Amino acid sequence: MGQNDFSMTIDGRAVHAGERLDVINPATEDVIARVPDCSREQFDEAVAAARTAFPGWRDKSYAERQASLGSIAATLMEHADELKVLLTAEQGKPLADALFEVQAAAWWIGEVAKNELPVTVTDAMPGQRSTTRHLPLGVVGAIVPWNFPLLLAIWKIGPALLAGNTLVLKPSPNTPLTTLRLAELLRPVLPAGVLNVVTGGDRLGPWMTAHPGIDKISFTGSTATGRRVMESAAANLKRLTLELGGNDAAIVLDDIDVDAMAEPLFWAAFKNSGQVCVAAKRIYVDDKVYEPLAAALQQVAKRVVMGNGADDGVALGPVQNRAQYERVRSLLADSRAAGHRFLTGGQDADGAGFFVPATIVDNPPEESRVVQEEAFGPIVPLLRFTDLDDAIARANASEFGLAGSVWSSNPDRAAAVAARMETGTVWINSAQNLTPYAAFAGQKQSGVGVEGGLDGLLEFTTPQTIHTARPE
Ligand code: NAD
């Protein structure tokens, strides 16, 4: 595929733009493609196409829309090899992880399609029968970040389309390629205007959140941007789902099986080079197991190869973009300047690409930046505790409340700690395993609303109750 072959999909057609944006491979810093920078007129066309397509899509049978989701899954699987290469080139993740993302996206949308929308009937009110159904909202504007571009797009495409909405979707300008390609592959699969994909720079997101022709915004990204989205969406009271940032705590109890759990704990923090909303970003460890766990984590880190995700054997790719790379490096520099010790990493990498070695900071003070801020990169603090209540209090002392994890050989103890965590999701002896069958929601400033499960599907609907008079 040539550098300029990527086009937007608007009303089922390929649309190019006068202006184009560079897309960079984060492992090499080479420009690998130039994608359209959507104009205002083109964006208005995309919204108009979605509006025009809405009644026809809404009025299709539910079974037909379920079948369309199945066709999207099949398209992903059919083109998995092509999409994984593109995903590694634009995002940086190792090829095996890119393939996993494509396959997970296909599986996820297939499972979403199995949901039924509930119809509730009640005769409790004398003289009338009340029937509540869940109707689509209209046109959904979907905004996706750069860490899991394909999977997070599918989280929105699946339930939005199943419920009967049409979509205008905007990938991150850092990782637009797999999404543009998927939309191109779906042109013969979906009716024109049902799924529109537009790419652009900083002006495009605000156009979307302010547009009067859009009924709902489904946004995944940072908390700072989420606040702006909420403000802008107020103009026509758009419905909102916001999946935002987190500073997830892992709490490791004194009865943990260190040998068995060191590897999963390492990947809880470093999968996708730490660029996961639900990565373990602060690891609180009971003093009794701190030293053996620190040593075991060092051993895991030694075995892990960092490099270009396209190369064999690489498990840790680069940070995805320069701005994020600079942010992670500033946290590293801050830790170095404060005299923190490092169990692994701690130094900058040489050469091209946005590489940061997996870094574990050895028990830095609770108030340090590396503890208090969401790094969203391969740097994590290991923090010692002697009092479990204090550890839980420290874990909860955050404006975020996305997820967390508890690590223990005793399920009852672990469950008791999990129940005290102020987060929407808690894992016990694992992390990051999200499922299409359960609600995923951020507490506090980690989000508004839900993705996943039936609750996530219902967010793309509005209830309608019909009361029918009936004789007593
Ligand atoms: P970001 O907020 O910078 O960007 C996310 C998306 O919003 C991009 O498509 C971007 O172009 C767009 N955008 C930027 N400014 C906008 C505006 N004013 N109006 C509308 N759209 C705008 O986030 P990012 O750097 O791409 O992603 C990293 C963040 O996302 C982290 O904080 C991470 O925790 C969070 N995240 C959350 C989840 C979750 O499900 N909770 C999942 C993945 C990532």
Residue type present at position 227: R
Q: Is residue 335's pLDDT more than 90?
A: yes
Closest CA to 306 of 348, 366, 264: 348
Structure tokens at 66: 């379920």
Query: Which of 16, 176, 14 lies closest to 89 in space, CA to CA?
Result: 176
Ligand 1: centre distance to CA 150 (Å): 14
Statement: residue 3 has pLDDT above 80: no
Mean pLDDT, range 124-146, rounded to an integer: 98
Query: Confidence band (pLDDT; 50, 70, 90) for 358?
Result: very high
Q: Which two tokens stand for residue 163?
A: 């419920």
Ligand 1, atom 22: closest residue by C-alpha: 205
Residues 445-454 as b/e (b if ≥16 CB within 10 A, e otherwise) read: bbbbbbbbbb
- How far apart are alpha carbons 453 and 438 in whole angstroms? 4
User: Catalytic site residue 38?
Assistant: no
User: What is residue 440's DSSP assignment?
Assistant: B
Is 459 among the residues known to form the active site?
no
- pLDDT per position as a tens digit, 438-467: 999 999 999 999 999 999 999 999 999 999
- Ligand 1 centroid distance, CA of 222 (Å): 4
User: Which residue among 143, 178, 214 has the greatest number of ligand 1 atoms within 8 angstroms of its CB, and so is best to mutate?
Assistant: 143
Distance, in Å, from the CA atom of 426 to the CA atom of 454, rounded to the nearest integer, reads: 19
d(CA 213, CA 52): 11
Type of residue numbered 240: L
Q: How far apart are CA 6 and CA 33, in angstroms?
A: 8
> What is the separation of C-alpha 5 from the centre of its chain, rounded to a whole number of angstroms?
27
* Residue percentage of the chain with pLDDT more than 70: 100
Which residue blocks in 37-189 are alpha helix, DSSP H? 40-58, 62-78, 80-91, 95-112, 149-162, 177-186
Best mutation site among 209, 277, 281 for ligand 1 pocket (most ligand atoms within 8 Å of CB):
277
Q: What is the DSSP letter of 274?
A: G
> C-alpha 375: how far from its chain's center?
15
pLDDT at 472: 74
Q: Which pLDDT score, from 0 to 100, does residue 433 have?
A: 96
Residue 196, helix vs strand vs coil: strand
Alpha carbon distance 420, 415 (integer Å): 9
Is residue 353 within 8 Å of residue 308, measured between CB atoms?
yes
What integer pLDDT is reported at residue 471 of this predicted model? 83
Write out the DSSP string of 297-322. Answer: HHHHHHHPPBS-TTSTT--B---SSH
pLDDT of residue 249: 98
pLDDT at 1: 59
Measured CA to CA, the distance from residue 168 to residue 213 in angstroms comes to: 11
Rg (CA), the chain: 23
Confidence of residue 227 (pLDDT cuts 50, 70, 90): very high
* Ligand 1 pocket, Cβ-based, cut-off 6 angstroms: 143-147, 170, 172-173, 205-206, 209, 220-222, 225, 228-229, 243-246, 277, 374, 376, 402, 442, 447
Averaged over 243-270, what is the pLDDT?
Answer: 98
Residue 124 has pLDDT above 80, yes or no: yes
Residue 193: phi and psi, rounded to 5, are 90, -10
- Give which of 209, 227, 98 is closest to 143, Cα–Cα: 209
Closest CA to 85 of 98, 103, 101, 73: 98
Distance CA 362, CA 8 (A): 47
Looking from the CA of residue 226, the nearest atom of ligand 1 is: 2
Q: Which of 38, 90, 101, 277 is catalytic?
A: 277
The predicted model gives 419-429 an average pLDDT of: 98
Mapping DSSP to helix (H, G, I), strand (E, B) and coil, where does residue 340 land?
coil
Tell me what the mean pLDDT of segment 278-282 comes to: 98
Closest C-alpha to 65, from 151, 179, 167, 144:
167
Could you give the CA distance from residue 98 to residue 143 in angstroms, rounded to a whole number?
20
Range with lowest mean pLDDT among 242-246, 317-321, 349-353, 408-412: 349-353
How far are the Cα atoms of 238, 317, 380, 404, 458 from residue 360, in angstroms, in the given order? 42, 17, 5, 18, 40
Share of the chain above pLDDT 90, in %: 98
Q: Whose CA is nearest to atom 6 of ligand 1?
A: 145
How many angstroms from the chain centroid is the CA of residue 138?
23
Other CB atoms within 10 A of residue 389 CB: 9
Cα–Cα nearest to 191, from 106, 75, 80, 65: 65
| Placement of tokens 């040998």 in the chain | 259
User: Is the whole model's pTM more than 0.85, yes or no?
Assistant: yes
Q: Which residues contact 427 (CB under 8 A, 6 or more apart)?
A: 403, 404, 405, 406, 433
pLDDT at position 411: 97
